[in-house]
Amino acid sequence: MIVPVRPLGRGAFGSVYLAYKREMEFFAAKLIQKKKFEQKELDAAVELGRDFSQCPFILKYYSRAIGTTCIIFPMEYSNFKTLDIIAKKPHITLPSYTLRALMKQTFEGMRLFHSSGLVHRDIKDDNILLNSPLRSGRVHVKIQGPELFQFPSISTQKVDIFALAIVFYHIITHKYPVYSPSFEEQQMKMNRLKCINRPQEIKNNILWDLLSKMLEFDPDKRISALQALQHPYFTSPEALADISKEQQDLAQQAQYSQHLGDLSITEYDKQSTFVVAESNCNQVLQLGIIDKLMNILIEYPVNQIYPHYYYPIYFLVLKEIIIDNQDSHHLVEKIHILYDKLHNCDILATIFRAQHSIQLLSREGLMTRGQKEREFFMNLFNGGGLALTVHIQQVNGKKFCDSNSEGAIGFMLLFMKHSLPEYFKDVIIKHLLEILTYNDDHLSQNALAFLSVIAEQEENYEQLIAGGIIEKTIKLILNSIYEERGVVDAAQSLLNELFESGRNQQRMELIVELAKQGILSNMDDINERFIVIIDKLVVWLELGLMSEEKRVKFHDNQRIFKDIKDKILRKQDSQLEQFNYKEAFAQIQAIFHETQQGTIKFNELMLIKGGCNTVKLLLKSNIAAIPVALEGGGIIDEVISVIMKLQIEEVREIHLVPFEALIEAVGNDCIESLKGKGILTILRKVLDSKLQTVLVQAIEIIFRIISSQTPNEKDQRQTHTLLSTFEQNGISAKLIEILNIDNFEIFEKESPYSFENYYRKLRR
């Protein structure tokens, strides 16, 4: 599994993220928009990774993955920033031997790059990275591939040579030959120049001779990368003598390491003229105590990171932000890397101490008042690594929930007080939703509360829905309905916030999703206990969209059902003979008819269920109700019409109870009438339901129809006709499919009829 940690950069064609994978540890993932990337460019990128596998000066591409909208290139992660960090420090001058080695590495990388027929076209300080292999003491230049790979002509490659000269001009002088705030103005100034004059900062004549040949305006006269490497700046006796003892020692150490079997050593590492000592770069980066501490941690194997290393970070951070530190972004990056190490740590005390430091930092962020300090803390928590550490850390295969909650609460409060950065929002929503699956009531209640705050913003609606928030919330309601009332209340509040934050169309989509998930949850009979809560919640939400007139109408219709039931239940058997069944059925039928005008809404589904239940009660109350119900265009025809219009996932067992009541009351006398009205078509439709309760109800009705046939010769012919009808409309095939699935035992228990009886009755 690839875990995104934080964004590293963004260009015109895509983005680069720091990512983690157990097999690769930390790496950079470059995402390029597919529509801007042609096959020939993909081939060039593949060649780049294949041809330069032994060159440490070109960033390695491990593989590629082609997604729906983008192409993903996993590549090396460089841990020492870019050449830009050197160019931005005018008070720092690199030793001549370090500058020469940096240039030699860069030109060698470009020589190999050009040798494959590629052109970069985007050479600049930020695209030349620096990386220090673990415990090597050396630093390698890493030429980062361009956003688009192109096979050019030879002359076109000279563009890269000119750009390289500008890069090192900038590093040496800490300024550009021509500078203007706008690109267009800078181009105009460059076009007016006939040559670039030597700056006073470059004292070395041989160095300027090399750069001037690279800065030649005429591409045909400009030297190549190979010719640059052959220049006296690199080959003269003076150059070969300008080697520090540390460079020599590191080259000898590389030879010894290779002898011991270190496969990462290259031929370049054994040549002192290519060696850039890490100590020189550290001087440029001005590493402080916090950097030194973090560099130690970065080098340590994950299980050697002990608790006491993390605890001082809180105090060090406070010290750093009190001072006017212009490099606070560098500090933030180091802290991110440090906490990212926790992904593979299984030492409980280490994780707890790290998370405690997160909690302290979060509280400090909540108390900040100044703009600078606030920005610092927002950047600190914006990396994603801290969030991932708190939320997905596992210890011995179990979710580390309890100690995670304090740190999680802290930094979520921080962002609720300020603002939620776009990238961090994705991370935090994902892991808050994951917390809902932890089976921990305390954490679930907190996560629901935070999600409710996030749901207040309309722009978060689609992301929450896409993350499965409805399904997860309903499962929480189900699992906690008897045990933890606080979770149920928090879940209902969250659903209400989603409803309030959505536009009308989104609200309707939410209602549909709630209805669907409620039905899906109902597939397991143990979940019947909470379906009423979902129904009431959805109707309550939907009523909020109605006009006052429609709300009154809805409640009036419910009152009609209640009045009919009350009259039936209050009357004695002798009084039921005089009951006006025709009027009662007509009232219910009118309500059913209203629900079929346009798309059936969830409150109308509630009315249909209530109506079917009332019809069942009327049919069971007195046999006098049966002929009235079976009249042409009567209530049974209306019920059939309604069920045919419902989507299969909307059909519940209660919709079938009028048919069950009819067959139970009069048996064979009404079978033919029901068949003529289309009952078999209804039964075949509902056999496609995924709800066990609906399937059991439908199968029982089918068995009752079969059982109602008496064993005389005439009815045997009717039975065979019935069998033929079942086979023609697919009922037989569907029954065989249903009764042979794993849930067969459920039907055996719940139905008084069995699969064996079904065949015996049909075949006798």
**Torsion sign across C-alpha atoms 355, 361, 365, 371:** negative
Side-chain-side CA neighbours of residue 178 (13 Å): 17
What is the Cα–Cα distance from 704 to 535, expressed in whole angstroms? 31
Classify each residue of 677-692 as buried b or exposed e, where b means 16 or more C-beta atoms within 10 Å of its C-beta. Answer: bbbbebbbbbbebebb
What are the DSSP calls for 503-545, one per residue? -HHHHHHHHHHHHHHHHHHTTSGGGGGGHHHHHHHHHHHHHTT
User: Of 621, 740, 635, 731, nearest to 677 (Cα)?
Assistant: 635
Q: Are the beta carbons of 446 and 485 closer than 8 angstroms?
A: no
The answer to whether 30 is a known ligand-binding residue is yes
**End-to-end alpha carbon distance in the chain:** 59
The tokens describing 354, both together, are: 């790290």
In the block, residue with structure tokens 């249909």: 608
Looking at residue 215, the DSSP 8-state letter turns out to be T
Q: Are the beta carbons of 13 and 148 closer than 8 angstroms?
A: yes
What are the DSSP calls for 541-600, one per residue? HHHTTS-HHHHHHHHHHHHHHHHHHHHHHHS-HHHHTT--HHHHHHHHHHHHHHHTSSSP
User: Of 119, 118, 199, 203, nearest to 162 (Cα)?
Assistant: 119
What are the residues whose beta carbons fall under 8 Å from the beta carbon of 521, sequence distance 6 or more?
A: 474, 475, 478, 527, 530, 531, 534
10 Å Cβ neighbour count for 628?
19
Phi, psi of 557 (to 5 degrees): -65, -40
CA angle 57, 252, 227 (to 5 degrees): 40
Q: Are the beta carbons of 176 and 169 closer than 8 angstroms?
A: yes
Number of residues written out for the chain: 764
What are the DSSP calls for 239-294, one per residue? HHH---HHHHHHHHHHHHHHHTT-TT--TGGG-GGG-EEHHHHHHHHT--HHHHHH
User: Of 245, 103, 121, 243, nearest to 172 (Cα)?
Assistant: 103
What are the DSSP calls for 445-513, one per residue? HHHHHHHHHHHTSGGGHHHHHHTTHHHHHHHHHHHHTTT-HHHHHHHHHHHHHHHHHS-HHHHHHHHHH
Beta bridge partners of 16: 9, 30
Beta bridge partners of 395: 398
Q: Are the beta carbons of 478 and 444 closer than 8 angstroms?
A: no
Three-state SS for 363-396 is HHHHHCCCHHHHHHHHHHHCCCHHHHHHHHCEEC
What are the residues whose beta carbons fall under 8 Å from the beta carbon of 5, sequence distance 6 or more?
A: 17, 18, 19, 20, 26, 336, 340, 383, 384, 385, 388
What is the Cα–Cα distance from 356 to 360, expressed in whole angstroms? 6
Annotated binding site, which residues?
Answer: 30
From the annotation, which residues make up the binding site for ATP?
Answer: 30
